[in-house]
Structure 1
């Protein structure tokens, strides 16, 4: 059985929402997209303006809407598959 892109997106959205809610802080975002507990790499990329999901600044807090995190994760996965196919 293969999942379509939309089915996979729906499953990921529901899973992340159930786990973290609609907005993720930097720590939870780093766990979801990088499988690490440290936010250091994510924060550095965000400050450089590269390679991270779109976010919302709310005072000192940086929040990542779950939809942006899932879309970013799926985009990274697609790029990885393309690279592996060309090797």
Structure 2
């Protein structure tokens, strides 16, 4: 038999650098957008990580108009203010 050197690939975490440097929400310029499919055509979209100096009311109004949907704000202790669409 021949000796074959088998190498297993290590796990790769694309967000490791961001998680190591940023432990608080809103301190970096990252915006997290999550789309979750509910049932049928319905889905839930969350936007978090926007800077505090932005006008959330204007952003929400523009998103509602562009995406033809309803939206609201949710205040979270860890993540800050979140836009739900």
TM-score by length of 1: 0.27
TM-score by length of 2: 0.27
Query: Greater RCO between the two (CA within 8 Å, min separation 6)?
Result: 1
Between Structure 1 and Structure 2, which shows a larger proportion of helix residues? Answer: 1
Larger radius of gyration between Structure 1 and Structure 2 = 2
